[in-house]
């Protein structure tokens, strides 16, 4: 088409050196480095506490992967972090920060419990499916108002999703207190009646509490990955996340897309709660999640919002939670140290990412500065 | 107006070089006490650089600044303010969440640190507003103020600090005509008090009305300083746009059959600030022609392009491309190609790779999507083809576009927008910030598209480029089309006058050759 390829006779435009391979390796390595740094700093804390960090970490390892029950325990703890983390990561890909997983988790759990309590005249597999679906929809419902406000009214989703957490938690609290509809009668602790067996997530490893929620999580990891990478919808999501103005220019209806993404993300949050009630607790308890939804944010951040990365970072968080008990029993270090390690890992991964971005922009500033100052007005 | 002829400020042989550009070349400039001194020039002529040097934002490579005969080194805006030199930028420097009063005292020393002295400041604020008849409420947050009031506030900021030299960078751009008159009254008051004003504007009428002398800049140097009352608009326009070096006019094929591709009727729209950006624009563009849109930046060109692309809603009027009404963002890449003004912000997703950026508008189509699954193999091989065809310098299609040079980034945008052979191609400042080689290839592509039979709109503030490329030229001023010229015989001085909002009687008014 271009019969006169220009530029060949003029100097320049050589592309800038491209650190593509190095960049890839580094982005995969970043969480690992962050975790190692977190363990290092925590070791100092453990030392200051007067304990041996090596012993402590050995106990942590034993308690999380040292035996079959330990592994099962790790996986059980991974499930809600994985589902919730996926929700955060998915929204993050569109440039949204859903910090409302905790609330969506409670409402999702309540919805799943409700369906799980109704004696439906259907085969168990269908009953379970309906209950899981209800859990997803319950979460999505809890994301509806923030999604609408974000997409069509420009209200920050960070504030609205966060605030609705408290509402969600106390709505569920109300539901399991007598005389509310979901409350069990005459109990020492507010809870719902037991969920019907037909709606239970089957146990994978008899003798442990490892339920099939983990399979649901792993399947959804790959589904999410596929959607983001290989479907037009995922392409739109990523484009909107990277540059909403360019997305609008390319013909994407950005508000509608943001709405859909935040609903799906909240639905994942609902599934996180669903797994807990249908697989592990088998009842809806008052205040049953102790900040799982907030840990899910850390999971997504540590994984850089990459769905496959979420699987690994959820496993890491799960292992910490599982191993912390063993650490407390055998070495005598309080369990909060696990949370310290988590928090440090997330902080380090953010710090490393930030440092990288600064370096990249500094590299880019050089030619960019030339362009900007080239037209001094 | 001026009571004394004494010279307050002298800039001597100021030279400022940016990488690749000589922004100011041995510029001399002087300002008398009590004078309004107009500063005129095209975009990129060096006006802003010069004023930024005076205000301490840039430091000259050589040359001297004399204030009241004393040599001064202005290394920061703070020093400039201490010397009594203040500036109102074209884009206001106000903190939206603070009140008017808080903005005015922002950064000023207080008598009893660390506490603010709000009461005293407020009294002075009110006194100044009464004195200058500015009617501003000190306690209203800035974001609640209309744009005109924000302009007053900026000026009040300078008065509050008792500035002797005031630099006003296009102060009337955001004002309604009645407010402009009020501004001029205020400026008269200021000069009566012996203050001096440097008035940057692209509007000849305003300069004629308010300034005593005008300095014209072009390509980084001063063409001349003349008393306003002796200068004719033609003369000033000539000083502003006249050039010794003119780009070669691009050779082109004659195109026989023309049909109307774009028809715009009575188009009105608002800019981002909500003030009118286009007023009753009517325009027709035919297949096989390049319509050059000249004009000083910010006279509605960007809004016009965005309206055509469906990215901005018009308040009135219609736009038709090939007879089809534009209502919302156009998806059909064979109808419209649009190279937006800001490629980094709008035209590209910088973190996406070359292939992803190339397929950004076509990904839902076959063969790139099959059964709702993206076919990356197809996308990659198609991208490799485009990279070859458009000579995009990149190791491969998997490199993020942020790693490409500006020229190659623009080639990615141009390739994407022209590959579907659109009926209409709208390009907004497509060569801004590019090196010569890249400018050349963009020009060639535009000519090629025209010869293919596309209707091409080329919006640019670079007159030589408009002259080199266009079959027809229109000039925009304050959201209106000032007039139209034949690209072959266009008189650059006429364009210059129109750019400044001046139309002499003998010139043809707006007429559309293609009107029935």
Give the pLDDT confidence of B9-68 residue by residue, as tens digits.
999 999 998 877 788 999 999 999 999 999 998 877 888 889 999 999 999 999 999 999
Least Cα separation, residue B211 to chain A (angstroms): 22
B436: contact with A, CB 8 A cutoff: yes
Domain of residue B156, residue span: 94-162
Tens digits of residue pLDDT in A210-247: 999 999 999 999 999 999 999 999 999 999 999 999 99
Q: What is the DSSP letter of A281?
A: I
**How far is the first Cα of chain A from the last one, in angstroms, to the nearest whole number?**
36
Whether B387 is in a domain gets the answer: no
Q: How many CB atoms lie within 10 A of CB B241?
A: 24
What is the average pLDDT across B91-110? 87
Least Cα separation, residue A26 to chain B (angstroms): 16
What is the average pLDDT across A283-293? 93
For B:268-327, CB contacts with A below 8 A are 297, 309, 311
CA distance B15 to B26: 5
Whether B106 is in a domain gets the answer: yes
Q: How far is CA A131 from CA A199, A275, B474, in A?
A: 7, 10, 66
* Closest among A254, A258, A228, A247 to B361, alpha carbons compared: A247
Q: Which residue of A has its CA nearest to B360?
A: A250
Q: Which residue of A has its CA nearest to B366?
A: A232
Phi, psi of B14 (to 5 degrees): -75, 125
**pLDDT of B164 higher than 70:** yes
Phi, psi of A96 (to 5 degrees): -105, 145
Instruction: Indicate if B148 and B25 belong to the same structural domain.
Output: no
- Is A231 in Cβ contact with B373 (below 8 Å)? yes
Site of tokens 């209200």: A155
A229: contact with B, CB 8 A cutoff: yes
Strands B480-486 and B472-477: antiparallel
Tell me the CATH number at B80: 3.40.50.300
**pLDDT of A156 higher than 50:** yes
Last residue of a domain, one of B162, B190, B210: B162
Q: How far is CA B502 from CA B45, B177, B472, B495, B506, in A?
A: 20, 16, 20, 10, 12
Instruction: Indicate if B70 and B138 belong to the same structural domain.
Output: no
Tell me the CATH number at A314: 1.10.3470
Last residue of a domain, one of B240, B271, B287: B240
Strands B62-67 and B36-40: unpaired
- Tell me the chain B residues in contact with residue A15 when contact means C-beta distances shorter than 8 Å: 393-395, 399, 403-405, 408
- Summary mean pLDDT of chain B: 88
Q: What is the DSSP letter of B113?
A: T
- Tell me the chain B residues in contact with residue A13 when contact means C-beta distances shorter than 8 Å: 393, 405, 407-408, 435, 437-438
**pLDDT of B510 higher than 60:** no
What is the average pLDDT across B492-506? 81
**pLDDT of A268 higher than 70:** yes
ipTM of the complex: 0.85
Q: How many CB atoms lie within 10 A of CB A149?
A: 18
Domain of residue A235, residue span: 34-39+53-349
pLDDT tier for residue B5 given thresholds of 50, 70 and 90: low
Concatenated DSSP letters for A240-268?
HHH-HHHHHHTT--HHHHHHHHHHHHHHH
Whether B322 is in a domain gets the answer: yes
Tens digits of residue pLDDT in A89-120: 999 999 999 999 999 999 999 999 999 999 99
Site of tokens 């589902």: A83
Q: Which residue of A has its CA nearest to B220?
A: A376
Q: A24 in helix, strand or coil?
A: helix
**pLDDT of A337 higher than 90:** no
Which pLDDT score, from 0 to 100, does residue B507 have?
53
Whether B390 is in a domain gets the answer: no
**pLDDT of B284 higher than 70:** yes
Last residue of a domain, one of B162, B185, B219: B162
Percent of chain A having pLDDT more than 90?
A: 71
Stated as kind and residue range, the H or E segment containing A269 is helix A254-275
Percent of chain B having pLDDT more than 90?
A: 58
Instruction: Indicate if B134 and B223 belong to the same structural domain.
Output: no
User: Which distant-in-sequence residues (6+ apart) come within 8 Å of A129 by Cβ?
Assistant: none
Instruction: Indicate if B423 and B473 belong to the same structural domain.
Output: yes
**pLDDT of A15 higher than 70:** no
Instruction: Indicate if B1 and B142 belong to the same structural domain.
Output: no
Instruction: Indicate if B434 and B324 belong to the same structural domain.
Output: yes
Residue B150 and residue B168 in contact, taking contact as beta carbons nearer than 8 Å: no
Which pLDDT score, from 0 to 100, does residue A270 have?
98
For residue B336, list its beta bridge partners.
B424
Whether A29 is in a domain gets the answer: no
**pLDDT of A26 higher than 60:** no
Least Cα separation, residue B308 to chain A (angstroms): 12
* Cross-chain CB nearest to A7 (options B398, B438, B448): B438
Whether A249 is in a domain gets the answer: yes
Least Cα separation, residue A345 to chain B (angstroms): 25
* Selected residue with higher pLDDT from B510 and B91: B91
Whether A17 is in a domain gets the answer: no
Least Cα separation, residue B407 to chain A (angstroms): 7
Instruction: Indicate if B153 and B170 belong to the same structural domain.
Output: no
Whether B136 is in a domain gets the answer: yes
Whether B379 is in a domain gets the answer: no
Range scoring the smallest mean pLDDT among B178-182, B195-199, B455-459 = B178-182
Radius of gyration of chain B (CA): 25
**pLDDT of B390 higher than 60:** yes
Whether A289 is in a domain gets the answer: yes
Range scoring the smallest mean pLDDT among A161-170, A343-352, B70-79 = A343-352
Which pLDDT score, from 0 to 100, does residue A353 have?
74
Range scoring the smallest mean pLDDT among A80-84, A103-107, B219-223, B333-337 = B219-223
- Is B373 in Cβ contact with A230 (below 8 Å)? yes
* Cross-chain CB nearest to A246 (options B346, B395, B406): B346
- Is B374 in Cβ contact with A235 (below 8 Å)? yes
* Closest among B332, B334, B441 to B389, alpha carbons compared: B441
B38: contact with A, CB 8 A cutoff: no
What is the average pLDDT across B219-228? 90
Mutation site, A18, A249, A360, A372, interface B, largest B CB count within 10 A: A249
Whether B246 is in a domain gets the answer: no
Whether B376 is in a domain gets the answer: no
Instruction: Indicate if B42 and B9 belong to the same structural domain.
Output: yes
Q: B286 in helix, strand or coil?
A: strand
Instruction: Indicate if B16 and B150 belong to the same structural domain.
Output: no
Q: What is the DSSP letter of A176?
A: T
Q: Which residue of B has its CA nearest to A18?
A: B403
* Cross-chain CB nearest to B438 (options A1, A13, A242): A13
A251: contact with B, CB 8 A cutoff: yes
- Is A374 in Cβ contact with B49 (below 8 Å)? no
- Tell me the chain B residues in contact with residue A238 when contact means C-beta distances shorter than 8 Å: 352
Whether A48 is in a domain gets the answer: no
Stated as kind and residue range, the H or E segment containing B181 is helix B177-192
Instruction: Indicate if B169 and B209 belong to the same structural domain.
Output: yes
Least Cα separation, residue A242 to chain B (angstroms): 6
Q: Is A221 left (phi over 0), alpha (psi -120 to 50) or beta?
A: alpha
Total tally of structural domains belonging to chain B = 3
Q: Which residue of A has its CA nearest to B390?
A: A2
Whether A77 is in a domain gets the answer: yes
- Tell me the chain B residues in contact with residue A373 when contact means C-beta distances shorter than 8 Å: 18-19, 21, 23
Buried (b) or exposed (e) across B175-190, using 16+ Cβ within 10 A?
beeebbebbbebbeeb
Total tally of structural domains belonging to chain A = 1
pLDDT tier for residue A373 given thresholds of 50, 70 and 90: very low
Instruction: Indicate if B431 and B492 belong to the same structural domain.
Output: yes
Which pLDDT score, from 0 to 100, does residue B232 have?
85
pLDDT tier for residue B505 given thresholds of 50, 70 and 90: low
Supply the pTM of this predicted model: 0.83
- Is B20 in Cβ contact with A10 (below 8 Å)? no
* Closest among A256, A203, A199 to A233, alpha carbons compared: A256
Range scoring the smallest mean pLDDT among A145-159, B22-36, B98-112 = B98-112
B369: contact with A, CB 8 A cutoff: yes
Tens digits of residue pLDDT in B400-414: 999 888 889 999 999
- Is A370 in Cβ contact with B20 (below 8 Å)? yes
CA distance A48 to A53: 10
Question: Alpha helix locations (H) across B26-82?
Answer: 47-54, 77-82
- Tell me the chain B residues in contact with residue A93 when contact means C-beta distances shorter than 8 Å: none
Instruction: Indicate if B265 and B222 belong to the same structural domain.
Output: no
CA distance B242 to B496: 9
Which pLDDT score, from 0 to 100, does residue A364 have?
52
* Cross-chain CB nearest to B21 (options A13, A248, A374): A374
* Cross-chain CB nearest to A5 (options B361, B391, B432): B391
Least Cα separation, residue A370 to chain B (angstroms): 6
A256: contact with B, CB 8 A cutoff: no
Which pLDDT score, from 0 to 100, does residue A363 have?
58
B351: contact with A, CB 8 A cutoff: yes
Least Cα separation, residue A16 to chain B (angstroms): 6
Q: B149 in helix, strand or coil?
A: helix
């Amino acid at each position: 088409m271009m019969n006169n390829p220009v530029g060949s006779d003029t100097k320049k435009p050589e592309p800038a050196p491209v650190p593509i391979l190095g960049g890839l390796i580094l982005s995969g390595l970043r969480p690992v480095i962050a975790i190692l740094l977190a363990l290092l700093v925590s070791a100092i804390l453990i030392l200051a506490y007067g304990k041996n960090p090596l012993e402590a970490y050995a106990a942590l390892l034993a308690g999380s992967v040292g035996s079959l029950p330990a592994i099962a325990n790790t996986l059980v703890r991974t499930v809600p972090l994985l589902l919730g983390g996926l929700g955060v990561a998915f929204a993050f890909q569109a440039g949204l920060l859903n910090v409302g997983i905790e609330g969506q988790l409670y409402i999702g759990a309540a919805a799943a419990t409700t369906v799980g309590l109704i004696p439906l005249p259907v085969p168990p597999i269908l009953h379970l499916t309906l209950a899981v679906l209800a859990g997803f929809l319950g979460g999505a419902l809890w994301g509806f108002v923030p999604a609408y406000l974000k997409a069509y009214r420009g209200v920050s989703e960070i504030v609205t999703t966060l605030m609705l957490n408290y509402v969600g938690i106390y709505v569920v609290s109300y539901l399991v207190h007598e005389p509310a509809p979901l409350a069990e009668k005459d109990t020492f602790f507010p809870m719902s009646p037991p969920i019907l067996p037909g709606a239970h997530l089957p146990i994978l490893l008899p003798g442990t509490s490892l339920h099939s929620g983990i399979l649901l999580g792993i399947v959804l990891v790959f589904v999410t990955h596929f959607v983001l990478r290989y479907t037009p919808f995922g392409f739109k999501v990523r484009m909107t996340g990277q540059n909403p103005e360019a997305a609008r220019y390319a013909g994407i209806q950005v508000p509608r897309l943001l709405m859909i993404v935040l609903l799906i993300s909240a639905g994942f949050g609902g599934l996180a709660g669903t797994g807990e009630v249908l697989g592990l607790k088998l009842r809806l308890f008052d205040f049953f999640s102790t900040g799982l939804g907030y840990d899910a944010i850390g999971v997504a951040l540590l994984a850089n919002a990459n769905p496959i990365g979420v699987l690994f970072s959820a496993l890491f968080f799960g292992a910490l939670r599982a191993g912390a008990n063993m650490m407390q029993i055998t070495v005598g270090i309080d369990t909060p140290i696990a949370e310290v390690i988590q928090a440090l890992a997330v902080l380090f991964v953010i710090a490393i990412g930030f440092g990288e971005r600064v370096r990249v922009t500094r590299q880019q500033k050089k030619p960019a500065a030339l362009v900007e100052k080239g037209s001094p007005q | 107006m001026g009571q004394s002829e004494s010279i307050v400020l002298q800039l001597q042989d100021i030279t400022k070089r940016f990488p690749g550009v000589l922004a100011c070349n041995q510029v001399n400039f002087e300002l008398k006490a009590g004078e309004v001194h107009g500063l005129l020039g095209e975009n990129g002529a060096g006006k802003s650089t010069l004023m930024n040097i005076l205000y301490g934002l840039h430091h000259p490579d050589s040359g001297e600044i004399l204030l009241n005969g004393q040599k001064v080194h202005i290394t920061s805006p703070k020093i400039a303010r201490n010397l009594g030199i203040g500036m109102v930028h074209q884009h206001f420097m106000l903190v939206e969440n603070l009140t008017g009063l808080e903005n005015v005292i922002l950064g000023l020393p207080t008598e009893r640190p660390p506490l603010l002295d709000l009461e005293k400041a407020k009294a002075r604020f009110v006194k100044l507003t009464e004195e200058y008849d500015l009617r501003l409420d000190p306690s209203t947050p800035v974001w609640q103020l209309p744009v005109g009031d924000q302009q007053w506030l900026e000026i009040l900021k300078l008065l509050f600090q008792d500035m002797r030299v005031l630099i006003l960078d296009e102060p009337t751009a955001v004002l309604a005509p009645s407010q402009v008159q009020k501004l001029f009254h205020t400026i008269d008051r200021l000069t009566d008090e012996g203050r001096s004003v440097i008035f940057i504007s692209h509007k000849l009428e305003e300069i004629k009305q308010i300034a005593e002398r005008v300095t014209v800049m072009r390509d980084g140097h001063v063409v001349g300083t003349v008393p306003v009352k002796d200068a004719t608009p033609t003369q000033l326009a000539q000083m502003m746009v006249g050039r010794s070096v003119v780009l070669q006019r691009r050779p082109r094929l004659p195109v026989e059959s023309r049909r109307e591709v774009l028809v715009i009727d009575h188009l009105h729209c608002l800019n981002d600030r909500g003030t009118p950006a286009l007023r009753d624009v009517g325009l027709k563009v035919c297949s096989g022609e390049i319509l050059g849109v000249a004009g000083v930046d910010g006279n509605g060109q960007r809004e016009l392009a965005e309206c055509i692309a469906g990215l901005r809603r018009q308040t009135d009027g219609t736009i038709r491309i090939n007879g089809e009404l534009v209502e919302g963002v156009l998806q059909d890449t064979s109808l419209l190609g649009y190279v937006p003004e800001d490629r980094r912000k709008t035209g590209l997703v910088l973190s996406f790779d070359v292939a992803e950026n190339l397929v950004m508008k076509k990904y839902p189509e076959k063969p790139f999507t099959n059964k709702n699954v993206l076919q990356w193999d197809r996308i990659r091989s198609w991208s490799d083809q485009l990279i070859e065809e458009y000579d995009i310098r990149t190791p491969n299609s998997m490199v993020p576009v942020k790693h490409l040079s500006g020229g190659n980034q623009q080639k990615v945008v141009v390739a994407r927008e022209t590959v579907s052979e659109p009926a209409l191609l709208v390009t907004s400042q497509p060569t801004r910030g590019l090196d010569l080689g890249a400018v050349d290839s963009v020009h060639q592509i535009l000519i090629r598209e025209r010869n293919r039979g596309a209707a091409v709109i080329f919006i640019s503030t670079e007159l030589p480029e408009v002259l080199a490329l266009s079959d027809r030229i229109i000039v925009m001023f304050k959201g209106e089309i000032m007039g139209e010229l034949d690209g072959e015989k266009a008189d650059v001085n006429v364009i210059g006058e129109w750019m400044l909002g001046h139309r002499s009687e003998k010139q043809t008014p707006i007429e559309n050759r293609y009107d029935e």
